[in-house]
Chains A and B, each alone.
Chain A
Amino acid sequence: MITVTNLSKKIGDVQALDNLSFSAHDGHITGLLGPNGAGKTTCLRTVFGLLAADEGHAEIDGIDVAKEPTKAKAQLGLFPDPFGLYERLSPREYISYFAELSGMSKNDAKQATQNVIAQLKLEDIADRRCKGFSQGQRMKTALAQAIVHKPTNIILDEPTRGLDVMSTRLLRDILLSLKAAGHCVLFSSHVMQEVAALCDQVIVMADGKVVATGSPEELCQQTGKDSLEDAFIQLIGTDEGIAA
């Protein structure tokens, strides 16, 4: 469970987050949908405590990130954008390294790495160095890193960017299975199809503000449009519409 309350953050002269509030629940997939520059990544970084909010706070399972960062981060898994792989390590070394950083003992980390490698069908590349991996292989390695320590909350930043159809499907299946296992999945995206196909709840963001919240169907109903794409344009584009 991730709860964000009245979050505001200014980066330079830009108001990146403007009184942002939402919550993502366990056993749900929540999509953070917004155009480029809406503040999605800033929002996720603030949830991770990497950026300090000017106002408001973010809570992970009821723990304030700013106050108890280590405890809060132990409940989180991050699938970053870009992935941040270590090219000279193999996925097995990479995954178990981050498992240890998440607080597991060396042996537990090894076991958990073996499990996640089997789960994501990484066996064929598990002991090759990451240098030269395809985008799909990189995605799988990064995802394995995010879920190896079985955090209750998993955050993905633009997970489908640059992936082919097969990799996207695989990712989708994994996210659905995480949801079925009761995890709280929060991801940011600007791809409508992804959000429409996966999300139980969509948070539409523009200019650092929440514009609308609801399931894809609810958003369509609310705007009177047939597709999420039209609904999205309607929701964020009203200003532009008036200006035009």
Chain B
Amino acid sequence: MKTVIAMVRKELIDAMRDKRSVMAGLYYAIGTPLLMCGMFMVLIGQLSSPEDLNINITNSDNAPDLVRFLNNRGINASTDEGVSVKDVKDIELIISDDYAENMAKAKPAEVTLIADNSNEKLQKSIRRVELQLQAYSSEMGSLRLIARGINPAVVQPVKVIVEDQATPDSKGGFILGIAIFTMIYSVFISGMNLAIDTSAGERERNSLALLLSHPISTRQLVLGKIIAVTCFALLGLLLILLVSKFAYTFVPWQELGFSVNISPDFMGLMLFIGIPLAIMAATLQLFVSFMAKSFKEAQSYLTMVLFVPLALSMAASYNIAPDVLEWLPVSGQQQALMAFIKGREIPMLQLLVSSGATLVLSVALALGLEKLLKSEKVVFGL
């Protein structure tokens, strides 16, 4: 144990002096929450208030009432005041010359909507205009029926009532998922450089054989390295939590109707759940980089390997096959954390199973590492 402590101390001193390792962790931990904040602000702006839609309306003088109706619902004519030319969508609404006349005679008054329906960017806007035109049409129809003493309900045989079950929390699930994902991912990113440096780097500097020629067991060596990388990963996690706590207060969450509050409770839970994750990240990265022959090779392998936790975590926030994912490493913890921050009950059993699976995976990888380091091929790159 004494030997392991000595190794961890040395690895940490060595890593702290390595600008490359420290910077990799720092950039991520500080940069990501800030980047996320900026992204959320833009996203929330788009989600909460649909922008005004500006279209070309020809002969608008013929139908002042229709134009007013559209205007009230955020659809403006390009000729209106305060509408700049570049904001005008390529949608044209032509009001026929005999519109007013036909309308007055209760005949179908013609309007023509001209737009490119294959243009994906326009589709949403076209539908919006169509919807409002229909709304206007049925409103006028109802008024005509009332004027003739008929209840407009007789021409509405089916009344569709849509109840939206989405709570403000579940609407924000995607955003929450990303926010928590960035935190979980920090345990993978923060320790990565140290993991490479202390394995592939150690061999590249020819100090691995020297290390192994000392009276220490491979188990001690593996433990020392895993603990050092884990410490670094957790440090990165702590840092990203602190930065997030500060940065997320600037996002206008209230517009979504919920808030992402990085409370001390959440930070405590995240750090606790992060421990098995950090251990697994450390063993996984050490295992992969010991198989690589050089620092660069290890880097390219690891970037590929890190897609796995990325995919798991992403799938968890998009709700793809959520039943299985609840029990798996990374995604299981992610879902538990999301439940906690939404104020729901944490799925304890699932959290325990996924954390257990994380630890089992770590032990398996650590044993694999031990075996690797006993192999002459790995130590000397023969």
Contacts and interface: CB of A to CB of B under 8 A. Distances in A.
Interface stretch (B53-61, B203-211, B238-246, B337-345): B203-211
Given A84-B210, A86-B14, A89-B14, A50 B376 contact: yes
The interface residues of chain A, by DSSP majority, are classed as loop
Contacts of A161: none
B6 interface: yes
A73 interface: yes
Interface residues of B, number: 26
A196 interface: no
B247 to A, nearest CB: 32
B291 to A, nearest CB: 19
A141 B308 CA distance: 43
Contact of A97 (B10, B17, B380): B10
B6 A50 contact: no
Nearest to B218: A69
Best-buried of B2, B6, B211 by chain A (most CB within 10 Å): B6
Where chain B touches its partner, the secondary structure class is helix
Q: What class of interface size applies to chain A in its complex with B?
A: 35 or more
A82 B215 CA distance: 20
A51 B375 CA distance: 9
Nearest to B217: A70
Given A45-B209, A78-B210, A100-B3, A51 B215 contact: no
Contacts of B3: 100-101, 103
A84 B206 contact: yes
Nearest to B18: A88
Contact of A80 (B210, B217, B376): B210
Given A73-B214, A76-B213, A12 B382 contact: yes
12 contacts: A50-B213, A51-B376, A70-B215, A70-B217, A71-B215, A74-B215, A80-B209, A82-B206, A88-B13, A88-B17, A100-B3, A101-B216
Interface of A: 11-12, 45, 48-52, 69-71, 73-74, 76, 78, 80, 82-89, 93, 97-98, 100-103, 105-106, 129, 145
Interface of B: 2-3, 6-7, 10, 13-14, 17-18, 205-217, 376, 379-380, 382
